[in-house]
Structure 1
């Protein structure tokens, strides 16, 4: 049994919704998902995946996770195209609102969110969290103060809506940003931190351990504020070139996923793996010597689980059966304590508002057009 101190009963719901239920040999707590199919200059039909493909991909993801994470509500109209479809597929969702240096981007995201609230789509039974901005502070697009102000604007909207009032909010950024600005930890309901040993040129044999060392340091810092840390992104490219990255090979990608997945089970971590599907459409937007961004998917573009990943889990006991459970102690704002139970184990704007997220050479993946 694992006791985890949480700041709000709402956050206990996040943990509960990440239950590990065995479905085949792989069941992630969450996966990042993007419906972009082309660059900004493509026609509307070429830029965004059609509804039929989205439905197929969500059904595929349901086989390996119970939750997806989005980067935007406005890009490819994900508020309309993905959110209802994901709910229909039985998936929980962490909503994302893209924030960049243009205030109009956040205003558009906020307007889309307000529409979701008004239509009753945003309900805590389906929406497990909301991140307002993704690495915007790291990129220098906004200050910490602006990031927090944006968060509070969304918090005000949520509090005024009965279905959304208990949904926990966060700001997604690299772990180093949170470590450098503790006021971010104070502001959020839970910490959403991105870690990419891949961009640190860490040897694959020690990559998962390197992740956990850095992650643990942030967990320790966040615990002083009674805040839980969720991994917003981590992953490893299976192909392509990247001068500032570790070797991107299919074998390395499979090993990192397997090692991280096993570590997450042992340490009872909640995470969103990066990412769902390969995105070769990005190649025309990338430099010839920096093509790894197209190959972070667990699945190929066609929706097939990569062979090397599948092989890692064949005839193994690495899957979760949900037989053990973690006790989550939630401390509410009224200083009362409640207990919930969670099963054990427990992308997409424009070229100037990229969605799968930018990065440090030490902690995230590089900026790429969505």
Structure 2
């Protein structure tokens, strides 16, 4: 089942967007300003119609305001970021919290869901779907939330907003762990990253297809969307071999992915628009920092250079 059978949507490219630049991050509370968000969205409007946003925060408020004020032709999948409600001893980088912190997280999560509903109703012409969390049930997450709790959040959102509701997660948990959740959401959203699973570029698209088809065949009565798929351009060796990432490889995977998605009519949100240096470890080559199709300075990487020659010249003139 295709998403277009559930929602009246037009075809168009989709991308994950977060606008944090040098010195900005959600952790420090330093957010992009209106002009920076406007600059980003004008760049993206040239090639994308659908944006995925992850959090109901100050940045999201600005994005929605810019889209409406500047009359930009975007449709948004809006997410609520839900933090850890349960300790996860299986997280390699720390998923253990004090009980008081877990209780505070639960309160914050409910507020996130409430704001998600509020924004959905405030921007019904812009927000076309809603997600109640991101990678919160997979075994390795540092913000673990029980499946039952996610189901409760789905029901809250469906009661308070009209847009279709989903939950964004790695493809694997949908095969068994999330069966009950799959029946609650309006459509299923999966993440697929061949490069994180040690696949080379020759195996990449086929692996993505297998990930998608495995979930789609299990739930033929539910639309399945890919809400994250991409290829990093740098790595310090942490989880991804440095030889297996580059701008050239990103270009190959992006083109293969987009062509396949168009042919099969699968909505696929490419991860991601811009590099985000605040992510991951302090090491500059940490792969989490290097998934953008554009650098943090808004310079197009190889995959986007033909489409954005004006940005290349603009960056040169500023040097």
Q: TM-score, normalised by structure 2?
A: 0.80
Q: 1:64-143 alignment to 2 at 5 Å?
A: 64-74=47-57, 77-87=58-68, 88-101=71-84, 102-116=105-119, 120-123=121-124, 125-138=125-138, 139=141, 141-143=144-146
Aligned to 2:16: 32
> What corresponds to 1:217 in structure 2?
214
Q: Identify the match of residue 310 of structure 1 among 305, 315, 318.
A: 305
1:168/1:41 Cα in 2 relative to 1: closer, same or farther (>3 Å)?
closer
Change in 2 beyond 3 A, CA 1:40/1:80: closer
Greater Cα offset, 211-220 or 131-140? 131-140
What's the counterpart of residue 268 of structure 1?
265
1:238 maps to 233
Structure 1 stretch 63-72 or stretch 233-242: which is displaced more? Answer: 233-242
State the secondary structure of the residue aligned to 2:255: helix
State the partner residue of 2:292. 297
Alpha-carbon deviation of 1:255?
1.1
Give how far 1:105 is off.
Answer: 2.7
User: Which residue does 1:153 correspond to in 2?
Assistant: 156
Name the CA shift for 1:309/1:78 in 2 (closer, same or farther; >3 Å).
Answer: closer
Normalising by structure 1, report the TM-score.
Answer: 0.70
Q: CA deviation at 1:195?
A: 0.6
Q: 1:290 to 1:95 in 2, by over 3 A?
A: same
Q: CA deviation at 1:110?
A: 2.5
8 Å contact from structure 2 (residues 113, 132) kept in 1: no
How far apart, in 2, do the equivalents of 1:289 and 1:281 lie? Answer: 10
- In structure 2, the gaps of 5 or more residues are 85-104, 310-319
Deviation track 1:194-221 (CA, whole Å, cap 9, x = no partner) reads 1100100101111011110121111100
CA contact (8 A) 2:300 2:308 kept: no
- Following TM superposition, the consecutive aligned residue runs of length 4 or more in structure 1 with deviations greater than 4 angstroms are 311-314
**What CA distance in whole angstroms lies between the structure 1 residues aligned with 2:106 and 2:259?**
41
Measure the CA separation in 2 of the matches of 1:271 and 1:147. Answer: 23
* Backbone CA RMSD of aligned residues: 2.4
Corresponding residue for 1:334?
A: none
**5+ long unaligned stretches in structure 1:** 21-27, 159-164, 315-370
Deviations 1:31-78 (A, max 9, x none): 111133324564x5xx2111101011011111111010000012xx13
Equivalent pair of 1:243/1:290 in contact (CA under 8 Å): no
Provide the rounded CA distance (Å) in 2 between the counterparts of 1:208 and 1:79: 31
Matched, 1:48 2:31: yes
Tell me, yes or no, if structure 1 residue 177 matches structure 2 residue 173: yes
Q: Could you say which structure has the greater relative contact order, defined with CA pairs below 8 angstroms and 6 or more residues apart?
A: 1
* 1:191 corresponds to: 188
